Amino acid sequence: MAEVLIDIKIEPLAEGGYLATSAELQGLIAQGRTVAETIEIAQDVARKLIESCLEHRDPLPPKIRAALKKRGQKAMLKIPVGVELEATAA
């Protein structure tokens, strides 16, 4: 099974919760109540997007295509997450 790192952006929503998007994998949008839940949903969405591309023979992003060529037709995604925390006044 191939492993691919996909950068995602997680930002807090004004109404609460978090939103994850990715410039590397179009269509990846995930919303959750916590950062951990949002990451988990983003991983599932990314996996389903890749599976759909493979099933319908749609083009994959270069990074994912390269990983699949090395390992076959399945991918397991690891998504690094950078979180910027605002300094709180003491």
Mean pLDDT of the chain: 83
The confidence score (pLDDT) of residue 22 equals: 94
Enter the pTM of the model. Answer: 0.71
The confidence score (pLDDT) of residue 66 equals: 78
Q: What topology is assigned to 2-78 in CATH? A: Double Stranded RNA Binding Domain (3.30.160)
The confidence score (pLDDT) of residue 82 equals: 66
Q: What is the 3-state secondary structure (H, E, C) of 26-51?
A: CCCEEEECCHHHHHHHHHHHHHHHHH
State both tokens at 60: 């994959």
Q: Spell out the domain ranges in the chain.
A: 2-78
pLDDT tens for each residue of 15-39: 999 999 999 899 999 999 999 999 9
